[in-house]
Homo-oligomer: A and B are copies of this chain.
Amino acid sequence: MRIIGKQEVEDMAVGAAVLASGGGGDPYIGKLMALQAIEEYGPFEMVTLDELDDDAWVCASHMLGAPTVLVEKVPNGLEGIGAVDALEARFGKKFDAIMPLEAGGLNSLLPFQVAAAKGVPIVDADGMGRAFPELRHVTWTLFDVPACPAAVCDEKGDTVVIEAVDNEWAERLARNVAITTGGSVFMADYAMTGAQAKKTSIPGTSTYCEVVGRTIREAHEAGGDPIPVILDLLKGKELFRGKLDDVSRRTVGGFVRGYAHFEGIEGYHGRTCEIEFQNEHLIARSDGEVLCSAPDLIAVLDAETALPITTEALKYGARGVLVGIPVHEHWRTPRGLEIAGPRYFGYDIDYVPVEER
């Protein structure tokens, strides 16, 4: 068990936004909510998967919807708790620990606030090792853990408990609740035992996010350029450096969809690069050539600060270093590529690991 205080939260927010591949919600809102929860409940307790009892009862906690919406519809802090309460009522028993669904500015940190309010520890693991657009894009789906019963809660306290025939229908039903209630909701789902969690989750994600964030901070403090250090840490690859000269974002069907177009700078002069996204960055192409595609991660780092820029914050004139990061090996299996590879997202290309491109 490890204690997570304010500095750890600050670092985690930055690292989670890097691993979020552009999505996962505004890291600033996630950080504020977590810091406020520390004020209210004291520092968080975080346990590793190994420290979980095999018969512990855990669930995932997260926001679902379009990150663009969250910037205007800031959570009131009760939605995540309401969702876990509804799921506990459905099962008639309490959860022993709460687990993040994905790495993301908001979705990495929100579960800390929920766990603290429920008086249980957070698990240092998640179901993605990055962020993905859909509820079923988790390693738990790869291991046939059902998302349902899944509880949804909105900011007014409306709750909906979904028991869908599969994780695909769970996604559709939950997404439409989000659309109905204004574009974002909070959920509790993927209830499982400690034994299941150990077998099916990606371990150590929160700590990994913290290390990434700390590395960026320390490189700054040492006065150096954090980008080579991050690339080294994440085994990532610089894809492009450019100035954003066009961005299109539509909030449609409960997602934010669009593209960002960059004009090359610093050694990339005369070239352009375009990223397409559905909440998360899905593909980066330069003058017809694919540089990186899902399920590998594509992060846009601010060229000056090395801080990640999420899809809803991409702006004209931003100077970004585009980085490709290899995804966890769970996603490189045939089953993983089936539900999160380029063809799933509508791109008619074969997946090639970013380090081999």
Contacts and interface: CB of A to CB of B under 8 A. Distances in A.
A36 interface: no
Contacts of A86: 163
A160 B158 contact: no
Interface in A171-217: 172-173, 176-177, 179-181
Interface in A144-190: 156-165, 169, 172-173, 176-177, 179-181
Contacts of A165: 156-158
Nearest to A176: B180
Contacts of A180: 172-173, 176
A173 B177 contact: yes
A90 B176 CA distance: 22
Contacts of A158: 162-165, 169, 173
Copies of the protein in its oligomer: 2
A157 B173 CA distance: 13
Interface string A262-294: 000000000000000000000000000000000
Given A176-B176, A180-B173, A180-B176, A161 B164 contact: no
Contacts of A156: 165, 169
A156 B177 CA distance: 19
Contacts of A169: 156, 158
Contacts of A162: 158-160
Contact residues of A: prevailing secondary structure: mixed
A156 B163 CA distance: 11
A174 B164 CA distance: 15
A154 B90 CA distance: 20
A173 B174 CA distance: 11
A160 B177 CA distance: 11
A123 to B, nearest CB: 27
A90 B180 CA distance: 23
A183 to B, nearest CB: 13
Contact of A161 (B160, B172, B181): B160
Given A157-B165, A158-B165, A160-B173, 17 more contacts: A86-B163, A90-B161, A156-B165, A156-B169, A158-B169, A159-B162, A159-B163, A160-B160, A160-B163, A161-B161, A161-B163, A172-B180, A173-B180, A173-B181, A176-B177, A176-B179, A176-B180
Interface of A: 86, 90, 156-165, 169, 172-173, 176-177, 179-181
21 contacts: A90-B161, A156-B169, A157-B165, A158-B162, A158-B163, A158-B164, A158-B165, A158-B169, A158-B173, A159-B162, A159-B163, A160-B160, A160-B161, A160-B163, A161-B161, A161-B163, A172-B180, A173-B177, A176-B176, A176-B177, A176-B180
